[in-house]
Chains A and B, each alone.
Chain A
Amino acid sequence: MTDVLDIAVRHRLGDFTLDSSFTSDGRLTALFGSSGSGKTSLVNVIGGLIRPDSGHVRVDGETLVDTERGIYLPKHRRRIGYVFQEARLFPHLTVRQNLLFGHWFVPRAQRKPAELDKVLELLGIGHLLRRRPGALSGGEKQRVAIGRALLAQPRLLLMDEPLAALDEARKAEILPHIERLRDEAGIPIVYVSHALAEVARLATTVAMVENGRVAACGPTADILSRPDLAARPGAPEASTLLSAEVAGFEEAFGLARLTTPAGPLTIARGTLRQGQRIKIRILASDVMLGLGQPAEISALNVLPGTVFEIGERSGTGGSTVHLLIACGEAKLAARLTAKSLALLGLAPGKPVHAVIKSVSVEMP
């Protein structure tokens, strides 16, 4: 099977050099990295807004750019939808005209007439059709922009920090729509973000971008927990992503029991329902390690495991170490001080108990 995305490009922008290559066959590939790392430039290369000095861009096996073979498809012929950080709606057109803008340019034979209703329903924007962009809220604008890109019937959807300009409430309003898009629309998505929570929640594949290079690319859970990536300067803290199922409740304390690949966990019940499948995330700094079974402590969640991998020392003066602990079928990322590591005499294969201080639910 060919990869959805196959990209290898070099491009100079002033002092900055973009030199990235990665392949992905995920439904939602996140380009993840700090601001100024070259994520947006990379997406602009894919979308045809930047013409790379050399390299190739292939989507679904079709070559869009190949400098060696002299191929360069202009942006309007790529059929790649692009949702920008600012919605970039056309102010002189109504919402309906904005939505249908790309639709007009789809060759008549390929047009799917029923698309509009589907997109309106998917994004919940049916009531906005007659308004003008000036009269919309930030969240509404962004949803219209997503709909507009979808209605151009793209083979790939690029989203460049579509939530960055919005407040928390608006983000919460849009995130479920992007999830549905990922699961139902059948269009692969490339999603640019510097927010760990968004990436953990949405991405199936993560490409870590750093100084114009793709430092690593792989399934989200693997990338986010890798000690060597977390040890890099400026990298976000490692965390563990686990899929979980709600197994039961402790009514007296308002808690829910989860079964996870790492073992049973207990968390606050919140709005969880029996049998619900959720995604949870555990920050590496929220994991403590003990050699024996810790007794008489406040933490409810203690999982037995063995040390799987110990990363390089990092942080100022090499004070910090990231580790991976094999717990059940999963691997848990933990962050310790180098001193604790030495005091406990931790080495790969050594049995430990992981004390988990807090768990966040990513997908209620």
Chain B
Amino acid sequence: MRLSLIVATTAMLASLPLGLAVGLLLARGRFWGKSLLDAIVHMPLILPPVVTGYLLLVGFGRRGPIGEFLYDWFGIVLSFRWTGAALACAVMGFPLMVRAIRLSIEAVDRKLESAAGTLGASPLWVFLVVTLPLCLPGIIAGMILCFAKAMGEFGATITFVSNIPGETQTLPSAIYTFTQVPGGDAGAMRLTLISIVISVAALFFSELMARIVGRRIAVE
């Protein structure tokens, strides 16, 4: 349960900078291979989660090309660790986050940005003080979506990092485990209630944030 929260939060925070970058790139960039990048980002949304998990296992496993590199150079092991669970959740939640961020960046009025430019703000400042605050609701929505996806992620996680109690056993895998043993109904029900509470709390929180931010930037 605690592990699940840590995994989901890590997944959300870790994918935020990259999500922002990719969202910005997709919203504003004009480059060759843009639709390819778009397709790759959205892949985890379309592929069966088990396939994504298997690809992660192949790529990031101890013997996988990336996993081996990470282990040899940084001593980082992802497979069958909670960090691996976070990675799997992040990958699964990433498309949702990028989508929300991209849409909100596209909705920002470019005219406001050029106005900021004529007032002496360099492109970086324009992004920090105009674009970013104006698409904050979208970024928050993206984070919540990513968090929710990470909380519920099952297929990719169990394929990539298995179901090790205390290390990689997230809420859904724990519930699954309970349903597989006789007399586990009570435990499964307890965990189900917990996940309902967390989901409702997350939704409530996001609504609250959206309302606060929305009030601040009431559209003209």
Q: Does B2 contact A (CB under 8 A)?
A: no
> Would A76 and B117 count as touching, CB distance under 8 A?
yes
Write the nearest CB–CB distance from B117 to chain A, whole angstroms.
5
Residues of B within 8 A of A42 (CB): none
Q: Which 6 A-B pairs have the closest CB atoms?
A: A105-B120, A102-B119, A82-B118, A92-B217, A88-B115, A134-B218
Give the nearest-CB partner of A47 in chain B: B118
> Would A48 and B117 count as touching, CB distance under 8 A?
yes
Residues of B within 8 A of A336 (CB): none
> Would B220 and A84 count as touching, CB distance under 8 A?
no
CA distance A149 to B126 in the complex (A): 16
Interface centre among B112, B115, B126 (most CB of A within 10 A): B115
CA distance A77 to B120 in the complex (A): 6
Residues of B within 8 A of A105 (CB): 119-121, 125
> Would B121 and A134 count as touching, CB distance under 8 A?
no
A-B contact pairs, 15 of them (CB 8 A): A74-B117, A76-B123, A76-B126, A78-B118, A81-B119, A82-B115, A101-B116, A101-B119, A102-B120, A102-B121, A105-B120, A105-B125, A134-B220, A148-B119, A149-B118
CB 8 Å contact bits of A293-319 with B (1 = contact, 0 = none): 000000000000000000000000000
Write the nearest CB–CB distance from A354 to chain B, whole angstroms.
46
Residues of B within 8 A of A132 (CB): 218
CB proximity to B under 8 Å, residues A63-91: 74-82, 84, 86, 88-91
Size of the chain B interface, CB-CB below 8 angstroms: 24
Q: Does A175 contact B (CB under 8 A)?
A: no
CA distance A235 to B116 in the complex (A): 35
> Would A76 and B121 count as touching, CB distance under 8 A?
yes
CB proximity to B under 8 Å, residues A130-151: 132-134, 141, 148-149
Residues of A within 8 A of B216 (CB): 92
Q: Does A122 contact B (CB under 8 A)?
A: no
CA distance A89 to B116 in the complex (A): 9
Q: Does A152 contact B (CB under 8 A)?
A: yes
Residues of B within 8 A of A49 (CB): 114, 117-118
| Known contacts A84-B111, A88-B111, A91-B134: A133-B120 contact under CB 8 Å | no
CA distance A49 to B118 in the complex (A): 8
Give 20 new A-B contacts, CB below 8 A, not counting A49-B117, A80-B118: A47-B118, A75-B114, A76-B121, A77-B120, A79-B120, A81-B118, A81-B119, A82-B115, A88-B111, A88-B112, A90-B116, A101-B116, A102-B121, A105-B120, A106-B120, A132-B218, A133-B220, A134-B218, A134-B220, A148-B119
Write the nearest CB–CB distance from A133 to chain B, whole angstroms.
6
> Would B134 and A92 count as touching, CB distance under 8 A?
yes
CA distance A91 to B214 in the complex (A): 10
Write the nearest CB–CB distance from A106 to chain B, whole angstroms.
7
CB 8 Å contact bits of B89-113 with A (1 = contact, 0 = none): 0000000000000000000010110
Q: Does B24 contact A (CB under 8 A)?
A: no
Residues of A within 8 A of B134 (CB): 91-92
CA distance A81 to B117 in the complex (A): 10
CB proximity to A under 8 Å, residues B69-84: none
CB 8 Å contact bits of B199-220 with A (1 = contact, 0 = none): 0000000000000000011111
Give the nearest-CB partner of B130 in chain A: A90
Residues of A within 8 A of B116 (CB): 90, 101
Residues of B within 8 A of A82 (CB): 115, 118
